[in-house]
Each structure stands twice: as structure tokens, then as C-alpha cells.
Amino acid sequence: MYRKHIKRPLDFVCGILAIVVFCWLYLIVAVLVWIKLGRPILFIQERPGKGEKVIKLIKFRSMSDVRDGNGELLPDSKRLSKFGKRLRSWSLDELPSAINLIRGDVSVVGPRPLLVEYLPLYSVKQRRRHEVRPGISGLAQVNGRNAITWEQKFDLDVQYVDNITFWGDFKIVMKTVAKVFRRESINSADSATMQPFEQVNA
């Protein structure tokens, strides 16, 4: 009942409430991004959603466009400034995802949407993460986020797909809020962002 009839309407309501209640915070963050990083203020990237349909995920920009002598973008670790790290540590870069919630691209809770380029690399089991809408937070995010391995993350994603309940989602949301305030597991152990997924796993 919850998965089929309640989860999507609840996501829509949460998206509307987020924009209405935190409109002042959206304005403050947008101005700070404009001052610290310049334009564009929003970062839009294609990610696979439910059924592997490509969606356009919206976030506040958190990295600069610094390039090397050949005009190539520098590695993420060089482009992620202290300001960008603060945005991510408080998950403020995720605020515009409320628009994706309203449009039905994502859910409040679900497997995090990853890069489109990873689609050919998934095993049959790992592809099951796309049986549901991706989430702003998920089971993997409250159990290590970027500090756990890809294999652990995918196992948790599939575990979530098989066990979607209202109370399960509620617990994940509460744990997410707690982790944001404690700023836990934002980065992987050896990278400013999660290491790329490169290996096909059976």
C-alpha cells in the first residue's frame, strides 16, 4: 500500500513544503554560491532514474570551473573549495532537489542516482537499484555514505528495494538529519568525492 499509493504523493507534498518553508534558505545559499563560485548557480546533471530513464538532477553548484593550461577541468579535489565542502557537509547543495521531488524524478528515500556512464557496468543484481525512484537519501547514505565500498553500497540499495516501508523510510530520514548535523561520512576515506565505479561485479 505505502509503496504503490502513498510514497509518491508524500514525496510531492515534501517537495512543496521544502520550497515554501525554506524559501529564505534557498535565497541565502543562491546568493552565497553566486558570490563564492559565480554563475551558473545551479548544477544540472543527467542521472538514471526509475527504469534507468535519464532524469536531470538539480543541485546548487559546489565546485569551481578551474582548468589547467590545456583548458581541461582540474580534478574534483582541486575544484572543491572550502565553501563547496561546507555546502556538501550540510547537504545544502541538495536543496534544489525539491524540484525533482515535485516532478516525480526522485523520492525522499531511495538509492542515490549515480552517473549515466555507470549503467553498462552493473551486474544483474546491482541494476535492481533502478526498480524504484532514486532518492535524495537512502539506506546506503545512513550506513556510511561515501565512506563505504561500492559493493556495500549496492548491497544496501538492493536491500532497500526489497524492503520499502513507511517506518523504514521514516527511520532513514531521521538518521539522515542526524548525520547531516554531525556531518558524518561526507567523503570517502581517500578522496574529496567518491571514487569512480569502474569494475563490473558478478
Closest by Cα among 81, 133, 125 to 106: 133
Closest by Cα among 196, 201, 16, 175 to 102: 16
Question: Which residues neighbour 164 within 8 Å (Cβ) at sequence distance 6 or greater?
Answer: 2, 3, 7, 132
Query: What are 13-58's pLDDT values in tens digits?
Result: 999 999 999 999 999 999 999 999 888 999 999 999 999 999 999 9
For residue 90, the model assigns a pLDDT of: 87
**Mean pLDDT computed over 119-145:** 93
**Residue 1 pLDDT greater than 90, yes or no:** no
Amino acid at 160: Y
Which residue do the cell numbers 499509493 mark?
5
For residue 183, the model assigns a pLDDT of: 65
**β-strands 42-48, 54-60 pairing:** antiparallel
- Burial of 194 from C-beta contacts in 10 A (0-12 / 13-18 / 19+): middle
Task: Please tell me the total number of residues recorded for the chain in this structure.
Answer: 202
Please give the Cα distance from 156 to 138 (Å, whole number).
Answer: 9
Is residue 201 very low, low, confident or very high in pLDDT (cuts 50, 70, 90)?
very low
**Residue 184 pLDDT greater than 70, yes or no:** no
Residue 114 sits at the vertex; the CA angle it makes with 108 and 116, to the nearest 5 degrees, is 130
**Mean pLDDT computed over 79-95:** 87
